[in-house]
Structure 1
Amino acid sequence: MDSIQKELLEAVAGLHEIPAGAYNIRANGESAARNTTANIDIVSKTDVSGIDIKIKAGTKKESVHIPVLLSQSGLEEMVYNDFYIGDDCDVVIVAGCGIHNGGDAASRHDGIHRFFVGKNAHVKYVEKHYGSGDGKGERIMNPQTEVDLGENSEMEMEMVQIKGVDSTVRTTKASLKKGAKLVVIERLMTHGNQRAESKFDVDLNGVDSSANIISRAVARDNSVQIFKSVINGNAKCSGHTECDAIIMDNANISAIPEITANNPDAALIHEAAIGKIAGEQIIKLMTLGLTEKEAEEEIVNGFLK
């Protein structure tokens, strides 16, 4: 990998070098590096571009890294990745996409990740998106995530996009069986003329299933954000969706939460709050020696942690 690709790898996967354990690194439309383990197998698809990740039942304290790096201006790709996670697993999956565009043509990565999670499994999934480069070409990412959670399984999803992505539509769909639990934390910042749309659609089908969808967002300059969250309670279950956003400059934010109870024992809550940074917060930090701009940055960084 060249220096640009190494910078992207660090930004989206926190890696300074090739990781231990299972991994598949995709660079400019091709597999750049791959490793499997005794418990985690990675196989290229034969009908479409993408991979199958198969994790054996009972696998504990192992990780999979599958970052995607684009440093070639004008490259567009569509990738399909399927995860088959066996019963009683406890694993971490780190994904994400970094695009460096130094040219005039748009670079675009669209990806569909499907998760089939077995019974009593625990999965932590981290997905980060990042863009860089001083070219005029757009950096476009449209990730789609589909989750099927087995009985008494848990999935924690950390989804982060805080810099450099010009256009994105982020779609997440989930179906939960008996006792399954889903927690999603989204952190999102847009600036300039960027546009970001987040869509969540969760079906709580099993008894005692639960979902907690939380979005923390900051919109700056002339950027636009749309947050849509739908939770359907189809059994005795609990669901919560929340959007908390800071709006700055001439930005625009829409929050559209929707909850539907199709069972009398479904307990569902939605919350949405959009507002600017309070003046007293800025003044307090300025009394400590920060400039107004530094105070704003400190508040925004703390909000997105």
Structure 2
Amino acid sequence: MAELLDQITEQVLRQIDSSAGFKQEGAFNLRQNGISLCHGNTEHIKIKKKEDKQGIDVYIDGDTKGEEVHIPVVVSASGMVDIVYNDFYIADGADVTIVAGCGIHNSGCNESRHDGIHAFHVGKGANVRYEEKHYGEGEGTGARVLNPVTKIYMEDDAVFTLDTVQIKGVDSTVRETEVTMGAGAKLYVVEKLMTHDSQTAESNMAVYMQGEDSSAQIISRSVAKGQSTQIFHPRAIGEAKCHAHIQCDSIIMDEARVRSIPEIDARHLDAAIIHEAAIGRINNEQLIKLRTFGMTEEEAENVIVEAFLN
């Protein structure tokens, strides 16, 4: 029997799990205000509650083909600090999409925070897509804080796609990501972020290409408005024959500040690593063209920002 969810939880879930909408079916685990509210398994995917600390272990067997796991988190209690440890064990040859995300609804005056520490153990030849959305809302003055930690351990020929989005409303975030790659492993990262008002965002990433012929593509796109600040520090470390490309593009508006610090570290003769970084304002020609269609300046800016982040 499905758990009855309140209106706020339903509203937040529509923001952080909007690909097909969160449903209490298949493999899923919904965490609300520090408690695992409900979960489900399938033939090939099993979710077990940790016994020594808050969090779950997700076991995905090698016969998993094209399945999804949904693990959203909702914090709607002002003043709550929720720390959770989730481990994913993906067997050799599995093909799975993991849809995560955290939404904070804060109607009070105290800070609400969620720290999700996720570890992915990806078997040989497995293909994993991990989608994570962060979102904040609520009429309260208390801060909405999200500090995700993601650790990915990739065996030979594994493929991992990391697709992260911070939609809006998050006052402070520090993201820490670390990836270790075996031979022939492939990593694809797309990070999208928008900050406004006095929000702060920091993203640190270290990718260790230890296996021969491993490769990584890291793309970061961000928009900074108001007095917000952003810091990006992606690192690609080549410890074997490998290929990597880092690209950081940002639009800066108002009185915001953006720092982009792509770092490449070649520790092998055949490590081929490239980085690019660009920060700039909205193109005036694009603004003028959209204004000729009858848009206000604000409407034109919104269209450009939305297209840039999509």
Q: TM-score range by the shorter chain?
A: over 0.9
Q: Which runs of 4+ in 1 moved over 3 A?
A: none
**Match for residue 120 of structure 2?**
115
TM-score normalised by the chain length of structure 2: 0.97
Q: In the alignment, is residue 58 of structure 1 matched against residue 58 of structure 2?
A: no
Identity of aligned residues (%): 53
1:199-210 correspondence to structure 2 within 5 Å: 199-210=204-215
Q: In the alignment, is residue 72 of structure 1 matched against residue 77 of structure 2?
A: yes
* Deviations 1:132-163, CA, capped at 9 Å, x for gaps: 00100000000000000111010011100020
Q: Distance in 1 between matches of 2:43 and 2:299?
A: 49
Q: In the alignment, is residue 169 of structure 1 matched against residue 185 of structure 2?
A: no
Post-superposition offset of 1:19: 4.3
- Counterpart pick for 1:7 among 8, 11, 22: 11
- Counterpart pick for 1:183 among 159, 181, 188: 188
1:1-305 correspondence to structure 2 within 5 Å: 1-14=5-18, 16-305=21-310
Q: Distance in 2 between matches of 1:87 and 1:254?
A: 39
Q: Distance in 2 between matches of 1:10 and 1:83?
A: 24
Structure 1 SS opposite 2:299 = helix
* Deviations 1:185-229, CA, capped at 9 Å, x for gaps: 000000000000011100000000001110000000000000001
Structure 2 SS opposite 1:215 = strand
Could you tell me which runs of 5 or more consecutive residues in structure 2 were left unpaired when the two chains were aligned: none
TM-score normalised by the chain length of structure 1: 0.99
* Maintained 8 Å contact 1:257/1:271: yes
* Maintained 8 Å contact 2:24/2:40: no
Post-superposition offset of 1:58: 2.6
AA partner of residue 176 (structure 2): T
Post-superposition offset of 1:20: 3.2
* Maintained 8 Å contact 2:22/2:70: no
Structure 1 SS opposite 2:286 = helix
How many residues are paired up? 305
* Deviations 1:52-111, CA, capped at 9 Å, x for gaps: 000111310111000000111111111000000000111000001000000000000001
Q: Distance in 2 between matches of 1:190 and 1:160?
A: 11
* Maintained 8 Å contact 1:168/1:196: yes
Structure 2 SS opposite 1:302 = helix
AA partner of residue 261 (structure 2): I
Q: Distance in 2 between matches of 1:154 and 1:118?
A: 10
Q: Distance in 2 between matches of 1:285 and 1:8?
A: 32
AA partner of residue 48 (structure 2): V
* Maintained 8 Å contact 1:6/1:16: no
Post-superposition offset of 1:17: 4.8
Distance 1:275 1:115, change over 3 A: same
